[in-house]
């Protein structure tokens, strides 16, 4: 493991000490798949830039997929925030080239670019109908332990290559789930039968199919590590 990799792993573990609550939309009342029977896909491990929608740079951010064990990941996610001396709209963050320009041009501090909140999830995968789905279980660190989650996020994973994939959010409020018993197996049956049914999904951007993630390259890794360090040091 390189010194950069050790630094990143340490930053992710430090984030576990920060109490964070993440608001959730389009949630599922049950998880999909079983984290005790799953296996992580190493192709998804790493640091990923979340490209913005065509209409706004405010959706841009990043996710870190860090293996927790052989079955699950710890996912750390955050959106980018611009300080008074920066404007994210100056960069085309709907492309990775825009992230490259941002990383080369901006300092990481409260006046320029930073992050102010972190979302933490435990995640695992399950194949249904020949497609890969990932369940995200929100985590909240408290002095008295981690409460049982009441909702989950489920994404269909669409790989576009070794350094890019899309996530399509399954809409827990879809009519496809109407009158379906709220059990894991019942919801899995609905998903399995409707993997290519557009009613199953709730895409965050009407102009794109799902949320696009692009792997952060070595040349931009220091910028993203500085963003992680900033939320720890300013806390």
8 A C-beta contact, residue 138 and residue 120 = yes
pLDDT confidence of 183, banded at 50, 70, 90? very high
- Give yes or no for residue 63 having a pLDDT over 60: yes
Q: Break the chain into its structural domains and give their ranges.
A: 3-233
33: number of Cβ within 10 Å: 19
pLDDT confidence of 14, banded at 50, 70, 90? very low
- Give yes or no for residue 79 having a pLDDT over 80: yes
Instruction: Identify the pLDDT of residue 56.
Output: 57
Please state which of the ranges 56-60, 122-126, 132-136, 190-194 shows the lowest mean pLDDT: 56-60
- Give yes or no for residue 4 having a pLDDT over 50: no
8 A C-beta contact, residue 181 and residue 27 = no
Instruction: Identify the pLDDT of residue 77.
Output: 87
Instruction: Identify the pLDDT of residue 75.
Output: 93
DSSP β-bridge partners for residue 159: 165
More confident residue, 133 or 226: 133
8 A C-beta contact, residue 194 and residue 134 = no
- Give yes or no for residue 136 having a pLDDT over 90: yes
Instruction: Identify the pLDDT of residue 11.
Output: 45
pLDDT confidence of 19, banded at 50, 70, 90? very low
pLDDT confidence of 147, banded at 50, 70, 90? low
| Residues 6+ away with beta carbon under 8 Å from 123 | 65, 72, 73, 74, 75, 134, 135, 136, 137
pLDDT confidence of 60, banded at 50, 70, 90? confident
Average pLDDT over residues 118-147: 81
């Amino acid at each position: 493991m390189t010194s950069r990799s050790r630094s990143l792993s340490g930053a992710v573990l430090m984030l576990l000490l920060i109490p964070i609550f993440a608001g959730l939309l389009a949630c599922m009342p049950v998880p999909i798949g079983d984290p005790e029977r799953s296996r992580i896909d190493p192709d998804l491990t790493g640091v990923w830039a979340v490209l913005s929608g065509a209409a706004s740079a405010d959706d841009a951010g990043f996710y870190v997929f860090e293996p927790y064990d052989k079955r699950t990941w710890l996912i750390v996610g955050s959106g980018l925030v611009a300080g008074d001396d920066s404007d994210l709209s100056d960069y085309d963050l709907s492309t990775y080239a825009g992230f490259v320009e941002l990383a080369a041009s901006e300092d990481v501090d409260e006046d320029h670019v930073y992050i102010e909140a972190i979302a933490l999830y435990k995640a695992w995968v399950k194949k249904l109908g020949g497609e890969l789905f990932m369940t995200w279980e929100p985590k909240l660190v408290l002095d008295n332990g981690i409460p049982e989650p009441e909702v989950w996020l489920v994404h269909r994973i669409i790989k576009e290559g070794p350094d890019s994939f899309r996530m399509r959010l399954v809409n827990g409020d879809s009519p496809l789930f109407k009158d379906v018993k709220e059990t894991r197996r019942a919801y899995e049956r609905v998903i399995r039968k409707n993997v290519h049914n557009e009613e199953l999904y709730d895409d965050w951007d009407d102009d794109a199919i799902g949320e696009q993630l692009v792997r952060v390259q070595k040349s931009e890794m220091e910028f993203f590590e500085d963003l992680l360090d900033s939320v720890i040091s300013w806390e």
